[in-house]
Chains A and B, each alone.
Chain A
């Protein structure tokens, strides 16, 4: 991709060299270089909402896998470094998301993520017991991120055979070393944000991370925070590698939150904070505002104005951005604080996203059902292949013989199917298919299932809420509108360099469908109590009465006389005369 920086006025200061800051070391031995960059991309969406994406990247040229143990951590967090070396992790991707990304209204995100928690890990070739290591890794991560990742076990872990290829460098892709799991029920709240912020070199005290206040971040339509660790090339020759840690946070603020009316957003309105300085440990700290839809400034208005513009190739499209460089003191102006104000007037129809997907459960009753997955290809004349990954828990028994894939009414045979059947209480179903989507069409994948009856101890404390089925993952190579840049190590903004690009005419994209909420036949847990009450009542009333009737003998007894008669009887007794 091409990276252009247009400087209109000469007032911008001398361009600082954005190389990694050399660590000051007393000895003459060079320390492994590490580098930290932070950026924020703000994109106004056509529905009036606003999308903000934070990315914090730490690059560290070191080798966790070699014999000598790494003991001096500077910018790279120690907790993650120890996890990588102890569990021989090659790549780690974990995300926590609250809300669902609405592709039709918001377009494509820079970094997609499914609702709930998602974890996928590539282990090194040297690991002998991948399942045991996976179990220990999930427990350790649950402590680091304050999430219930320890619920990840063999019943929700799958080993995809073709999806989730490594995003970092590597020559071997044996899928035996890959594990993927989602927890769609996982809640994301401040307790997950707190440890995430602690991993940043500046914490939440300086730089862009001061904007991350939980009260505003969770009062949004979509919130997703993720950690990605992978080895990357250091230069274009790619003879040496370094470890890259990316912490990303995507949030979409809702227009209709109380207090909003017009299409006007500012940093203070979004985050209730303004920026005062860049993180001192960062080599680059920038804010990008997407002004592609209106470069002339007729509909958009951004203040304070900036003269730095840049263009980047992201998501198959060339977009223009206004850039604010926080490492330059001039950005903050005389008030020493930066509060960006973005105003735009009208919103026209946006381009339909090329690929999006939906999923729902059809059917009635609590015995059977049908899962429908719809994939839309909105390109007018190009078709492209997609890889659909479905992981369904064992208690929804899929009938694979009822699997149908239809496009435009006709049968569409997938060129690759990998199905691993489930084993009750041991593993889930895994279905992977490579489907070619014809242009301008809807492809529907349906499969019938039957609901299983669980053992009474396997129900959650709130079983009538339903059980979640994780999102389907659709990976595809989508044709791009403009030529992408395949040289991935040139200086480019972080948001455009996440997925490696191998060819110019298409770019890689991942789309997640909605998770499903399925009701299983739930027993009435108050039944034992009610039965005991009813039985005891029946026994007491019925048996007691019967016993009395059978065992009592009856005697005739004179009714007691009235008061006058009693007094008369007493007088007669005293007289010695027989009573009345």
Chain B
């Protein structure tokens, strides 16, 4: 006897309006002393994975490698606190863009979806109009810009335009933008697309500070805002009912020294009704069916008569063959500009010296 299954009414599953979740987590700083930025990004990655978003829906961009850096006294680990309890790097991390690939161009291409056709799926943001996207940026920034890898910057105007492109292409349902840099609030000043909510770790004119250094590793391990954000997120579980107003309270001035800011005027819902798990967790569409499905017949392999040719392994270093190798016939290329120009010059000089009347003797 089987227990009677209560069929839940479908409507209460999709009350928030989104059906899938994506996350784009970017660390823009290079060099060992920017360890804390990588730790920031990895701690958000860890929380987002723990709350249910799979690796295929996370685009993780790390501009430098801290875990296997030769200066790291504990390889393959990135810690958030000097007690070294939490290894935010973990054992099954998948980084999609790493090293020199983290550029402004690649970031904007990921957001807008305008990637070359051969880009693999794990490097694409394949969101649709029912996706909630979390975007997290960290690094060194200033009033109106964020520095990528010490060689280029992204301005707040570019970022706002990228989000507008995403809105027009219906690439998101709601978007949560978190930035942890100095003067981070300047990055969301210029947003103008609907359904955006933004959080920053400091206001214009303020610096975001790092949490604490670790003398064994020798660098600051994490930034204050993200440290307290991680602490807050560790208490969230996939069925938690905490909402955005709780997130705005993370890291008050007493802990952060800078004043975190947020912007909700473009967000159409009330922030109190948006759950944390709407952005940090993952909604999976599950359809329960009671019908049975017949699987198709297995593929029948026809045992063809294979040709009875014998194969063999190739000689790895056939010395005599190599010595007597004929030079390869190069493909014929049409003569390039230099050769053509040279011949034109020769012909011109020839006809100049000998005059045009000789032309008819030739043709």
Determine the distance from Cα of A185 to Cα of B317 in the docked complex, in whole angstroms: 29
Contact B91 A190 (CB under 8 A): yes
Contacts of B89 in A (CB 8 A): 190
B75 at the interface (CB under 8 A from A): yes
A508 with B316: in contact, given A189-B65, A191-B94, A194-B92 (CB under 8 Å)? yes
B294 at the interface (CB under 8 A from A): no
Give the interface size class of chain A: 35 or more
Determine the distance from Cα of A72 to Cα of B297 in the docked complex, in whole angstroms: 12
Inter-chain contact count A-B, CB under 8 Å?
A: 167
**Chain A window 87-101, contacts with chain B (Cβ cutoff 8 Å), 1 for yes, 0 for no:** 000000000001000
Give the residue name and chain of the A residue nearest to B77 (CB).
Answer: A215
Within 8 A of A (CB), among B272-292: none
A416 at the interface (CB under 8 A from B): yes
Partner of B298, one of A72, A191, A233, A240: A72
Contact B30 A189 (CB under 8 A): no
A521 at the interface (CB under 8 A from B): no
Contact A238 B312 (CB under 8 A): yes
**Chain A window 120-136, contacts with chain B (Cβ cutoff 8 Å), 1 for yes, 0 for no:** 00000000000000011
A143 with B149: in contact, given A135-B118, A434-B319, A460-B100 (CB under 8 Å)? no
B357 at the interface (CB under 8 A from A): no
Contacts of A135 in B (CB 8 A): 118
Give the residue name and chain of the A residue nearest to B328 (CB).
Answer: A161
Name, among A27, A161, A475, A502, the residue most crowded by chain B CB atoms within 10 Å (CB to CB). A502
Contact A170 B297 (CB under 8 A): no
A341 at the interface (CB under 8 A from B): no
Within 8 A of A (CB), among B182-229: none
Determine the distance from Cα of A218 to Cα of B313 in the docked complex, in whole angstroms: 35
Give the residue name and chain of the A residue nearest to B300 (CB).
Answer: A29
B68 at the interface (CB under 8 A from A): yes
Within 8 A of A (CB), among B17-50: 30-31
Give the residue name and chain of the A residue nearest to B66 (CB).
Answer: A189
Contacts of A488 in B (CB 8 A): 313
**Total chain B interface residues with beta-carbon distance under 8 A:** 54
A462 with B67: in contact, given A140-B118, A151-B100, A215-B77 (CB under 8 Å)? no
Chain B interface main SS type: loop
Determine the distance from Cα of A320 to Cα of B215 in the docked complex, in whole angstroms: 48
Within 8 A of B (CB), among A261-278: none
Name, among A147, A162, A387, A475, the residue most crowded by chain B CB atoms within 10 Å (CB to CB). A162
A218 with B68: in contact, given A136-B118, A187-B99, A195-B94 (CB under 8 Å)? yes
Determine the distance from Cα of A162 to Cα of B327 in the docked complex, in whole angstroms: 12
A239 at the interface (CB under 8 A from B): yes
Contact A146 B94 (CB under 8 A): yes
B15 at the interface (CB under 8 A from A): no
Give the residue name and chain of the B residue nearest to A462 (CB).
Answer: B30
Contact B76 A143 (CB under 8 A): no
Determine the distance from Cα of A80 to Cα of B362 in the docked complex, in whole angstroms: 63
Contact A68 B299 (CB under 8 A): yes
Partner of B122, one of A143, A185, A190: A143
Contact A239 B310 (CB under 8 A): yes
Contacts of B315 in A (CB 8 A): 165, 502
Contact A29 B76 (CB under 8 A): no
Contacts of A500 in B (CB 8 A): 313-314, 316
Determine the distance from Cα of A218 to Cα of B318 in the docked complex, in whole angstroms: 38
B239 at the interface (CB under 8 A from A): no
Partner of B314, one of A166, A191, A237: A166
Within 8 A of B (CB), among A132-186: 135-136, 139-140, 142-144, 146-148, 150-151, 161-162, 165-171, 173, 175, 185
A303 at the interface (CB under 8 A from B): no
Minimum CB–CB distance for A26 against chain B, Å: 7
Contacts of B121 in A (CB 8 A): 143
Determine the distance from Cα of A241 to Cα of B116 in the docked complex, in whole angstroms: 37
B308 at the interface (CB under 8 A from A): yes
Name, among A68, A170, A215, A240, the residue most crowded by chain B CB atoms within 10 Å (CB to CB). A215
Determine the distance from Cα of A481 to Cα of B121 in the docked complex, in whole angstroms: 50
Add 9 more A-B contacts to A162-B322, A215-B74 (CB < 8 A): A32-B301, A146-B98, A190-B76, A190-B92, A214-B76, A238-B310, A240-B306, A460-B100, A475-B316
List 11 interface pairs A-B (beta carbons < 8 Å), by A numbering.
A139-B116, A146-B95, A168-B313, A190-B90, A190-B92, A194-B91, A213-B91, A241-B311, A461-B150, A461-B151, A508-B316
Q: Which 4 A-B pairs have the closest CB atoms?
A: A143-B120, A500-B313, A189-B68, A139-B118
Residues of A at the B interface (CB closer than 8 Å) are 25-27, 29-32, 68, 71-72, 98, 135-136, 139-140, 142-144, 146-148, 150-151, 161-162, 165-171, 173, 175, 185, 187-191, 194-195, 213-215, 217-219, 233, 237-241, 385, 387, 415-416, 434, 460-462, 475-477, 488, 499-500, 502, 508, 525
